Each structure stands twice: as structure tokens, then as C-alpha cells.
Amino acid sequence: MFGLFVAFLLSWVLLRRLAGESITVLGITPTLKRWGELLLGLGFMAAIAIINFTWQAHFKQVTYVINPEYRLLDFFGGSFWIVRSVLFEELVFRGAMLYLLIRYIGVIKACLLSSVIFGIYHWFSYEVFGARLVLMIYIFLVTGMGGWMFAFAYAKTRSLYAPVGLHLGWNLVTAIVFSSGPLGNQWLIQQGEAVYASDWITLIFFSLQAIVAPGIVTLYLLARYNASQSSVAPVMR
């Protein structure tokens, strides 16, 4: 919680000092439209995560069973951890930094740079820096494309609600439902030893997360929001 507070405070200082703007310029004031964007993003990425895990279970010949020791308090505790971590990452990577980058170098360059930084960050958060090169490339591409999706959602909607929703949808299902992440065993537990999936099947899973989902979101945003919104100046509060 302290990290989230520090990220919020630093964002406020950066925006005030470098842009002369209030932190509300990030689009954090709640409106019905923004809540709708959050729920839409959450639902979409939750569906993508469910498809990803159920397909992988089929091809790898594993099953999931309900954790008999899972309790309601575990759900709330895990969900709180996920929400806190997502809000922290969105404030850091899609908050003041992205707003200022868009202002000075434009939407596309800013979103690309943000996605690169986000991908590199995950080398360290996943503790794979210095590991096998293939693994580092895989982590960079998957998380970097996710970073592009979140950044472009922020740029087009002029709000943090849409990227937070997209980010939450994936992380909640991944960590809470399918127990894949730093929280350990949550609601569903994998049963059975995964068999080797062919390179083509692995490529399909990679494409779903790194190409298909970001591509759909990008195309939707381009169709849904006017091209004039590509310039975030001024940003709607």
C-alpha cells in the first residue's frame, strides 16, 4: 500500500512540476463512461485468460480441481493484492510518465516506449534477467505487447480506467482462478503432469496473448474513438 501511495505522490509532483497539471489530468475522476470502459476491458481480458488456460489444459492433458482449502478470506486477500499491484503498475507505467511522453513525442512513440519499458521491467519482476535468452525474449514480447495494449487504451480513452480494467481482467483470472502467479494455490489447482505441446500449439497460445488480444483492443479503440483523440492535449479530467 505504501508503494501505491508513493507512486500517486510522485505522479502528482511530476505533473505539477513538468506540466503544470493536476493529477486529475490522468482521468481518474469516476464517471459512468469510465466505469463502463473498466468493466468492458476486465470482461474481455478475463475471457481471453479463460480461453488461454482451458485450451492449454486440453492440449497439455491436465485438469483443474477446486482447492478444498480455499476460503472467502483467501479470495478477498488475493484480490486485494492483485488490485493493489495493478493500480501501482498502471500509475507508474501509464500514469504521469505516459502522459508526459505523449505530450512531448506523440501517442505512437510514447506507447511504444512505454511498452518496451514495461517488458524490461518484467525481466526483473519475474526474476528472469540473465536467464535463458529465449525465455527473456518470450517474457519481453508477451508483457511488452500487454504494455502496448494498456498504454494505447489510456491514450485513446484519456483515462486510467480502461487499462486498469484490461490489466485486472488478465491478472485476476490468471492468479486467482487458475493459481498461476505469485499467490500460489488459489481457487483452482492443476492436476496431472503437463505433456509436451507442439511448437505450433505453443505459438498459438503465444499469439493469443501477445498478438490477438492486443490487436483486437487496438482495432476496437481505433474504431471507437475519434482520430482527434490521438493528441492528448488537453486531456479530459
Tell me the per-residue pLDDT of 72-123, one tens digit each, with 9 for 90 and over: 999 999 999 999 999 999 999 999 999 999 999 999 999 999 999 999 999 9
For residue 199, is it within any domain? yes
For residue 100, is it within any domain? yes
For residue 209, is it within any domain? yes
Is pTM beyond 0.75 here? Answer: yes
For residue 236, is it within any domain? no
Cα torsion 3, 6, 12, 15: sign: negative
For residue 235, is it within any domain? no
For residue 237, is it within any domain? no
| 136-157 pLDDT, tens digit each | 888 999 999 999 999 999 999 9
For residue 127, is it within any domain? yes
pLDDT band (50, 70, 90) for residue 59:
confident
Spatial distance between the Cα atoms of 219 and 60, rounded to a whole number of angstroms: 31
Q: Are 100 and 233 in contact (CB under 8 A)?
A: no
Domain of 175, in residue numbers? 2-230
Domain count, the chain: 1
What's the full length of the chain, in residues? 237
